Amino acid sequence: MLWTALVLGFLGSFHCIGMCGPIAMAVGGASSKAFIFKKILYNLGRATTYAALGLLIGMLGFSLSLAGVQQGVSISMGVLIVAVSLSYKKADKFLTVPALSSWVVWIKQKLGGHLKAGSTKAFFFTGLINGLLPCGMVYMALIAALGLQDPWMGATYMFFFGVGTVPMLLVLMFSGNLLAAPLRLKFQRAIPVLGLIIGLLFIFRGLGLGMHGSPQLQMFDYGSEQVEITMCD
């Protein structure tokens, strides 16, 4: 599953260039070793925020699995991922909601303050805050993290998602140029296909067929309660 996080992050970076691209270029500049280190810190900050979100959403998923709805959650998340992947661009329209637009303005103000500071730690905190920007691709990755139903797997999945976005943002930081729209569109066309693959993997996993990728669910008796637990090979 982790490979899907890397690919999702990479493809998602072509979609998110519109919002994150200008910020990435603002973090760009000189090519000294010190500044390269700051660029790495910035991206590490974003990945750290994604991992923290994955940890929280993974805890929710784990709670649902303990409630005995493990199969249902996995299948439901698979269906939801397919649906979101087919309309991921519309998810960004939530930015126009007054509550979220205010949130985005606040985040950008904080980003500007840290960028002006220019210190080494400021780049890391800029990345941390940037990871909080609403994004349809992040939503899709978080749905997958929820479907994993494990806090640490959720955190790892989201961290890998963040790592997947790094190559394209590093290119922007060093070049200072946004990619041409036609090229970005070519990569974005692969997002629904990847979303369909990830969604089907979660649905297959939730069926509990007792084979690789679809482990059988067994019932464990905890007093008067029974809980479904995935038995991995």
73-93 confidence digits (pLDDT tens): 888 898 988 888 777 666 556
Average pLDDT over residues 133-145: 86
At residue 219, the pLDDT reads 46
CA 217 → CA 61, 113, 220, 226, distances in Å?
16, 50, 10, 12
Query: Does the pLDDT of residue 172 top 80, yes or no?
Result: no
Pair 96, 144: CB distance under 8 Å:
no
Higher pLDDT, 84 or 159: 159
Q: How confident is the model at residue 182 (pLDDT cuts 50, 70, 90)?
A: confident
Query: Does the pLDDT of residue 168 top 70, yes or no?
Result: yes
Average pLDDT over residues 148-159: 94
At residue 165, the pLDDT reads 87
Average pLDDT over residues 214-228: 50
CA 117 → CA 23, 47, 105, 128, distances in Å?
15, 21, 19, 15
Higher pLDDT, 116 or 80: 80
pTM, full prediction: 0.78
Q: What are the residues whose beta carbons fall under 8 Å from the beta carbon of 93, sequence distance 6 or more?
A: none
Higher pLDDT, 100 or 162: 162
> Pick from 41, 19, 64: which is nearest to 120 by CA?
41
CA 130 → CA 17, 28, 68, 126, distances in Å?
13, 15, 36, 6
> Pick from 136, 46, 127, 129: which is nearest to 86 by CA?
136
93: tokens are 């329209």
At residue 162, the pLDDT reads 92
- Mean pLDDT of the residues in the chain: 76
For a pLDDT cut of 70, what percent of the chain falls above it? 64
At residue 91, the pLDDT reads 59
Higher pLDDT, 40 or 91: 40
